[in-house]
Amino acid sequence: MKTLMNKRFGAKFTGKEDGGVSVEAVLVFPLLIWAITATFVFFDAFKTLHVSQKATYTVADMLSRETAAVDDDYLTAMHEMFMYLSKDEAATSSIRVTVVERGLDDSGNEETTLVWSEGLNGVLPYANLSILEDRIPLMMVGDQLVVVESEHEWAPTFAVGLASYRFREVGISRPRFAPQLCYDDGTDTICSNSGGSGGSSDGDVIPDDGDST
């Protein structure tokens, strides 16, 4: 008798659909909230990546249009512009500007050399091209390239399984209106390793007016 009642109760209970929507909502609602939140976080990550890329390309393009030597103040202004474009209110981003040149070594073989490199906001300049060499495209002898590297810290607004990340972008541009992009370090003006058009007579640096005789 008891078994028969249990069967009837079970059949009656499983056959009812009262409250089914409420149960489904309890099960699905947390997943729905997570999906909406995750969509926002992933969108913000890709947006930050896209903005960082565009800001890096903008800095590289501006440097490629310079005809006069740039100095520390100019590079600092480029970093401030990058922070503005990338909406880096915490000032955690950094940039590195490097100029490389394609020339000939003493044996007449083509080689790519480092002309000058400067880092801002904690990034060290390059002493050689061992790290950067794989990123440099093919160049003609006598050409220079301006390489701008940026780093932009990003942290998710909500914890949805995506960790913080530091986006690293590279923008490369060729000088447009001058054969070289020179750098004034306060003592000398560094232009070229080969002494090509627009370079100094010794092929390395141009003394400032205060140091010239």
69-98: pLDDT as tens digits = 999 999 999 999 999 999 888 888 999 999
Answer whether 63's CB lies under 8 Å from 78's CB. yes
Answer whether 103's CB lies under 8 Å from 197's CB. no
One-letter identity of residue 164: S
pLDDT at 105: 86
Other Cβ atoms within 10 Å of 58 Cβ, number:
17
131-143: pLDDT as tens digits = 998 889 999 999 9
Q: What are phi and psi of 93, to 5 degrees?
A: -80, 160
Which range, 4-18, 84-98, 189-203, has the best average confidence (pLDDT)? 84-98
136-184: pLDDT as tens digits = 999 999 999 999 999 999 988 888 888 889 999 999 999 999 999 999 9
Cα→Cα distances 40→14, 32, 52, 159, Å: 39, 13, 18, 11
77 is written with which tokens? 């202004």
Stronger pLDDT, 130 or 209, i.e. the higher one: 130
User: What is the pTM for the complete model shown?
Assistant: 0.76
Answer whether 150's CB lies under 8 Å from 59's CB. yes
